[in-house]
Chains A and B, each alone.
Chain A
């Protein structure tokens, strides 16, 4: 995006990439794999086997992403849309991120006291959250290979 209109864009990109990486790491950390496969034995990565810690980090990551999505949406609405439009890959990303976010919200709701979902719905949101994330990662890899970003000039 135009650096004059939106100078923080390059920093946001880096922070966004870092948070998505941490969300993947802590999300996969909810499965008992890092200890089994010695990854948590690597010096400095022992925390990956701490379920509560990875859970908190995952939640904090979600909070930061919510702030960032809302900030960027406001930026696009007020400024970006006059000079840029969303690419097709951006729509794919938005749809997948929305699916991850919605299933994630239900997952968070389910974890609150006094909220009980049916067993099948619980299993559905657990697995679909993971599946949407895998799809997002695969789509992201394809878009990086194709070098397509989120925005393209309006003209």
Chain B
């Protein structure tokens, strides 16, 4: 099993960062170029002690990205649109919020006949084909070539669609911030959606995400996805463990390895708003991908049907036009 060293990670990160292009809107850079690879993280549940160092590091490092809402909030219509305000509860650490992008989930389980409390960081899974980015109507949620899915806080209108279509309901909403305030604050939008962006700005500089760098137990590893998957399988084989995230929702860039089945973990964790499950998740975009393939065939089918239907009629019309032309030329020939 080849473990990724900090040096090799930085090499990959710097190669990727070297081909970064900044957009006119100062959008986050995407990783490009021949060397650009989809990066994934491996979370080895055995190692986590639940110290929350990752949570604190995330909060400190990403503080400048957190919402700073304007109050009072605009009155919203219709009345069913509820305010979502976490600005007075920034210290909440036992679930995901706009100010907590990673939290420690725990599960009481039996491992080898021994009762244990397992802890593990939970955050965005960074799907390979993220429905939040695919179905965002504005393009504010997007996937970068290095496997990060992020929500651009200056474009997001806070409609919560990303949360609705996310199999784990990860993004969290904050009212009173963002673009909607400049458009129709009472009638459209309701803030901005926030979630883990896997420290894209640190990755651009070749640095590790804060949660990984500050973990005293090296629970998380980051590297090219194939490498991470190999590593996950090697650990799972070694401990007779289980993997989550490799195939969930068509594949994610967050891979968990656990000594107990994820069904067991799923039953043991507290689930609900801001507390994601460990269910089996089918590929949310699979049907759409199949329909997209049908779209390629559709015009050819229509053309073939049309050609079959009209070709005979075209020949008849062509023949009648020819007869008409012959008749006209005969009539115009001079008498001898």
Q: Which residues of A contact B (CB under 8 A)?
A: 5, 30-33, 36-38, 51-52, 55-56, 59-60, 62-64, 66-75, 77-79, 82, 105, 108-114, 116, 118-120, 122-127, 130
Which residues of A are found within 8 Å of B321, using beta-carbon distances?
A: 82
Q: B23, A70: Cβ atoms under 8 Å?
A: no
Partner of A51, one of B30, B161, B313: B161
A95 to B132, CA, bound (A): 31
Q: What distance in Å separates the Cβ of A110 from its nearest Cβ neighbour in chain B?
A: 7
A130 to B139, CA, bound (A): 12
Q: B295, A66: Cβ atoms under 8 Å?
A: yes
Q: Is the C-beta of B144 less than 8 angstroms from some C-beta in chain A? A: yes
Q: A127, B138: Cβ atoms under 8 Å?
A: yes
- Give the total number of A-B pairs whose CB atoms are below 8 A apart: 149
Which residues of A are found within 8 Å of B81, using beta-carbon distances?
A: 36
Q: Is the C-beta of B165 less than 8 angstroms from some C-beta in chain A? A: yes
Q: A79, B299: Cβ atoms under 8 Å?
A: no
Q: A68, B302: Cβ atoms under 8 Å?
A: yes
Which residues of B are found within 8 Å of A69, using beta-carbon distances?
A: 299, 302
A126 to B317, CA, bound (A): 44
The 7 closest A-B pairs by CB, nearest first: A74-B306, A70-B302, A123-B139, A66-B298, A78-B310, A78-B314, A32-B159
Partner of B137, one of A31, A67, A119: A31
- For A70, A119, A122, A126, the residue with the greatest tally of chain B CB atoms inside 10 Å of its CB is A119
A51 to B134, CA, bound (A): 11
Which residues of A are found within 8 Å of B294, using beta-carbon distances?
A: 63
A105 to B299, CA, bound (A): 13
Task: Given the known inter-chain contacts A32-B159, A51-B165, A79-B314, please indicate yes or no for A113 contacting B288, CB distance below 8 A.
Answer: no
Q: What distance in Å separates the Cβ of A40 from its nearest Cβ neighbour in chain B?
A: 11
Q: Is the C-beta of B155 less than 8 angstroms from some C-beta in chain A? A: yes
Q: Which residues of B contact A (CB under 8 A)?
A: 21, 23-25, 27-28, 30, 78, 80-81, 128-129, 134-140, 142-145, 152, 155, 159-161, 164-165, 188, 250-251, 284-285, 287-289, 291-292, 294-295, 298-303, 305-307, 309-311, 313-314, 317, 321
Q: A36, B285: Cβ atoms under 8 Å?
A: no
A119 to B152, CA, bound (A): 9
A108 to B305, CA, bound (A): 25
Q: B292, A108: Cβ atoms under 8 Å?
A: yes
A110 to B142, CA, bound (A): 10
A36 to B161, CA, bound (A): 12
Q: A112, B138: Cβ atoms under 8 Å?
A: no
Q: A67, B299: Cβ atoms under 8 Å?
A: yes
A36 to B165, CA, bound (A): 16
Which residues of A are found within 8 Å of B284, using beta-carbon distances?
A: 52
Q: B129, A63: Cβ atoms under 8 Å?
A: no
- For A5, A38, A110, A118, the residue with the greatest tally of chain B CB atoms inside 10 Å of its CB is A118
- For A73, A105, A120, A130, the residue with the greatest tally of chain B CB atoms inside 10 Å of its CB is A120
Which residues of B are found within 8 Å of A122, using beta-carbon distances?
A: 139, 142
> 13 more A-B contacts (CB under 8 A) besides A113-B129, A118-B30?
A5-B313, A32-B161, A67-B301, A69-B299, A70-B298, A70-B301, A70-B303, A70-B305, A74-B303, A74-B306, A79-B317, A126-B138, A126-B139
A98 to B278, CA, bound (A): 44
Q: A71, B250: Cβ atoms under 8 Å?
A: no
Which residues of B are found within 8 Å of A51, using beta-carbon distances?
A: 135, 161, 164-165
Partner of B302, one of A31, A66, A77: A66
Which residues of B are found within 8 Å of A82, using beta-carbon distances?
A: 317, 321
- 28 A-B residue pairings within 8 Å (CB atoms): A30-B137, A31-B159, A32-B159, A32-B161, A59-B288, A62-B295, A62-B298, A66-B299, A69-B299, A69-B302, A70-B302, A70-B306, A71-B309, A73-B302, A73-B306, A74-B305, A75-B306, A75-B309, A78-B310, A82-B321, A111-B129, A116-B145, A119-B23, A119-B27, A119-B30, A120-B25, A123-B140, A125-B139
A5 to B306, CA, bound (A): 13
Q: B292, A112: Cβ atoms under 8 Å?
A: yes
A125 to B309, CA, bound (A): 36
Q: What distance in Å separates the Cβ of B330 from its nearest Cβ neighbour in chain A?
A: 22
Which residues of B are found within 8 Å of A123, using beta-carbon distances?
A: 138-140, 155
Q: B292, A52: Cβ atoms under 8 Å?
A: no
Task: Given the known inter-chain contacts A30-B135, A52-B284, A113-B289, please indicate yes or no for A118 contacting B311, CB distance below 8 A.
Answer: no
